[in-house]
Amino acid sequence: MSQTRFRHARPGRSRLAATALLLALMLATACGSSSATATTEAVASLPTVTEATTEPTPTTPATPEATPTATEAAAPEPTAAPAGPVGWTVETFVSGLEIPWEMRFLPDGRIFVTERPGRVRVIEDGQLRPEPVATIPDVAPIGEGGLLGMALHPDFANNHWIYVYYTYPSGGGVANKVVRYTETNNTLVDPVVILDGIPGAQIHDGGRIAFGPDGKLYITAGDASQPDLAQDTNALAGKILRVNDDGSIPPDNPFPGSPVYSYGHRNPEGLAWQPGTNALYATEHGPSAHDEVNLIQPGANYGWPIMQGNEGPNNGYTLPVIESGSDTWAPSGATFVQGSTFPQWTGSLLYASLRGTTLWRLDIPGGGNPPNLEAIISGDYGRLRNVVEGPDGYLYILTSNRDGRGNPTPDDDRILRIVPQQ
């Protein structure tokens, strides 16, 4: 088994002044508590925003079980959703979590959840077990960092491999890495470093990891408060990365010998593949505005820090499918709805937002037609970190109200669940 390690890229002295100025502007980050004013209107028109047609009824039941393109990337044609909307309601699935970041459903029905302080928790038979599956010893849960993403190997049922992305102390600062564990009897053993040297910082650590339909592991890396690194294809910051399951580099990556798959990103936090097309979409934080959903193409440059959303000099950068304009979403985890439990949402991209405190549904019609954006739930549950479609067809949503930027209730943090209305 092999692993790939990269040096920490650092800006040269000639770039420090510019970086410092950019950092001063960006500290009012999209997931923070202050906002910046957009200087001009977005070039492209914003999508239509509608409210969900069926209002939820919140309940709390007993715990149940290589060359950038010069134009906007064209969205593939999605599969049409079946007709017939279904009423729905929101319930609390489990509570008592501490800053959950990712959840994964295991083949045997268990659910693993990462908590940013460094724990992997397990839910069995609808109950959050008091003892964690693992406590990662070298996690540095500072700022936006800590134990973040988690992914199951496509052949997890046989090899029991589970991958985690986390921030750790390094050289007087912090860095990020991906480590593979083997799960056995509700414990994680035999750690193997898959990818190291991903720059880290108090903010913009990225952290989402997921296996794609091609069997490769995709990793989002933020710019680690060094915006110029996003344009440097020799650095891992500000990128979407792609590696084999052992950390080696796929031969068809756009930059030979490099895990870099796309670049020019600020802080991407969501990855989702569209059913029927296998097109990869990613959510990305802008600087207190101009948050994005991007269609990811290998080797494409998404413009940060030269462009913010559709604003800035477009020197051949790939434009977002949609951006928030002067509003702030702070988008995080995302998923395409594949089941038919909620037929009105089948085929749509759902993504959670932190500062926006909204679960968004994005309809991507293809054929050059503008996307349609709908708020499914908004403002009722605070900061939303992730949304995952379960094997039961229900939608599971992680809150992030104990991260220092929210207003937690006694039950926070929670996993909410959207279920059909009875």
Residues tagged active-site: 204
Overall residue count recorded for the chain in this entry: 422
CA distance linking residue 253 with residue 11, whole number of Å: 25
> What SS3 class is residue 1?
coil
CA distance linking residue 420 with residue 378, whole number of Å: 18
Is the previous residue joined to 155 through a cis bond, with omega within 30 degrees of 0? no
Phi, psi of 208 (to 5 degrees): -80, 135
Does residue 41 come out as left (phi exceeding 0), alpha (psi in the -120 to 50 range) or beta? beta
CA distance linking residue 101 with residue 384, whole number of Å: 10
Count of C-beta atoms within a 10 Å radius of residue 160: 17
Both tokens of 314, joined, read 């477009």
Work out whether strand 239-243 and strand 292-296 pair parallel, antiparallel, or are unpaired: unpaired
Residue carrying structure tokens 């017939």: 84
CA distance linking residue 126 with residue 384, whole number of Å: 21
**Residue 217 and residue 243 in contact, taking contact as beta carbons nearer than 8 Å:** yes
> Alpha carbon of 195 to those of 3, 192, 209, 320, 347: distances in Å?
6, 9, 12, 28, 32
**Residue 294 and residue 282 in contact, taking contact as beta carbons nearer than 8 Å:** yes
> What SS3 class is residue 65?
coil
186 HSE (CA, 13 A, CB side): 13
**Residue 183 and residue 160 in contact, taking contact as beta carbons nearer than 8 Å:** yes
Work out whether strand 372-378 and strand 358-363 pair parallel, antiparallel, or are unpaired: antiparallel
144 HSE (CA, 13 A, CB side): 28
Would you give the DSSP letter of residue 73?
A: P
> What SS3 class is residue 161?
strand
Closest of 368, 374, 377 to residue 416, by C-alpha? 377
